Amino acid sequence: MKTSFLNNTEQLPLLVQPESANQGGLNSLRQWLVDERDWIETQLLKYGGLLLRGFALQTAEDFEHICRVLDPQLLNYAGGDSPREAVTGKVYTSTEYPAHLEIPLHNEMSYRQLWPRKLFFFCELPAQQGGATNIADCRKILRAVDPEVSQRFAEKQVAYIQNLHDGWGFGKSWQETFETDDRAVVEQHCNNTGIEFRWTGKGLWTRSICPGVIEHPVTGEAVWFNQADLWHVSSRGQAYQEKMLKVLGEDALPSNATYGDGTAITNEELEAVRRAYRATEVVNPWQRGDLLMLDNVLAAHGRKPFEGPRRVLVAMSG
């Protein structure tokens, strides 16, 4: 294999390609992943992301097979917030969020006390225009956020609040979110993962209090790690915020974020976070067959708007 960097910059992702076409088959890739497991882990901890390009990955089944070489214990998406569909086994569509909207940078399931360590993305079909999965180094994001703001996030943490409907309403239902229609299963999941909850006349209310800044479990590096700006009612602009507050009121919003002590996170603080994201993001167009591996603590990811059909799949582990 040969390694290099996109756009002539030594930043994530590290690009890994076969030296020649006859080394790009699935069997060759599988053997390389087994033989170089330690090297892959070292590079992932260094850069936060590896992009495998030029290999014979064509289907969701190919993708799942390779992911299970890296980690046999893939995770489901129970408790997840993004709208997505199961494809095969533990492989999902990356999101069913409307194509014309941008998904801000975030760490997967950082709104829960249990979250995946690694993410795997596979481009089965790139969009005709746009649709890049933008990424950013969370160590750099933390350094780019105003120090007073990052200090408040570190000290106060973040409370993620949801109102999940029972089959009709804004946002996701509790059945979609927890991948079950059994209330006892939902209650057990919430109790096991530190989610405060209560059943309401319209569905399920939940709250999770999680860190805003954490240390990487292996390297000990401090990183920005939350989804406050994505969950906050201001995430889709001031007009949306005003409309949702007028129609539903703050207590009935599909999702919202406050500090862990219940105090409001201001729009100004969240704009400081968004500036840091914009300053550190890396945007690279997908190519068919690409496989992107991310350390979910070291690298945030998002999605740019797009036109035309697009199919990017995701699997999670750790």
Are residues 265 and 290 both part of a single domain? no
* Tokens found for residue 313: 């799949």
Kindly state whether residue 110 falls inside one of the protein's structural domains. Answer: no
Are residues 163 and 80 both part of a single domain? no
Q: How far apart are CA 286 and CA 128, in angstroms?
A: 10
pLDDT value, residue 76: 82
Kindly state whether residue 162 falls inside one of the protein's structural domains. Answer: yes
* Tokens found for residue 110: 């950082």
**What residues have CB less than 8 Å from 7, skipping those under 6 apart?**
282, 284
Are residues 146 and 254 both part of a single domain? yes
Kindly state whether residue 187 falls inside one of the protein's structural domains. Answer: yes
Kindly state whether residue 109 falls inside one of the protein's structural domains. Answer: no
Are residues 228 and 205 both part of a single domain? yes
Q: How far apart are CA 25 and CA 235, in angstroms?
A: 42
Low-confidence ranges of the chain (pLDDT < 50): none
Q: What is the pLDDT of residues 131-187, one digit of tens each?
A: 999 999 999 999 999 999 999 999 999 999 999 999 888 888 999 899 899 999 999
pLDDT value, residue 80: 64
- 159: domain range? 139-276
Tell me how far the alpha carbon of residue 302 is from its chain's centroid. 7
pTM value is 0.90
**What residues have CB less than 8 Å from 54, skipping those under 6 apart?**
17, 18, 24, 289
- Number of domains into which the chain is organized: 2
Are residues 155 and 260 both part of a single domain? yes
Extended beta strands in the chain, E state:
2-5, 14-17, 49-52, 86-88, 91-93, 103-106, 118-125, 129-130, 135-137, 158-165, 196-199, 203-210, 213-215, 222-224, 255-259, 291-295, 299-303, 306-307, 311-317
Are residues 149 and 272 both part of a single domain? yes
pLDDT value, residue 248: 87
Q: What is the pLDDT of residues 247-274, one digit of tens each?
A: 888 888 989 999 999 999 999 999 999 9
Kindly state whether residue 134 falls inside one of the protein's structural domains. Answer: no
pLDDT value, residue 83: 64
Are residues 207 and 298 both part of a single domain? no
pLDDT value, residue 121: 97
Are residues 163 and 256 both part of a single domain? yes
Are residues 92 and 155 both part of a single domain? no
Are residues 213 and 300 both part of a single domain? no
**What CATH number should be reported for the domain holding residue 290?**
3.60.130.10
- How many other C-beta atoms can be found within 10 angstroms of the C-beta atom of residue 23? 15
Kindly state whether residue 181 falls inside one of the protein's structural domains. Answer: yes
Does residue 147 contact residue 276 with C-beta atoms inside 8 Å? no
Are residues 258 and 233 both part of a single domain? yes
Kindly state whether residue 87 falls inside one of the protein's structural domains. Answer: yes
pLDDT value, residue 79: 64
Kindly state whether residue 106 falls inside one of the protein's structural domains. Answer: no
**What residues have CB less than 8 Å from 297, skipping those under 6 apart?**
107, 117, 138, 214, 216, 217, 223, 225
Are residues 120 and 29 both part of a single domain? yes
* Tokens found for residue 141: 């994001």
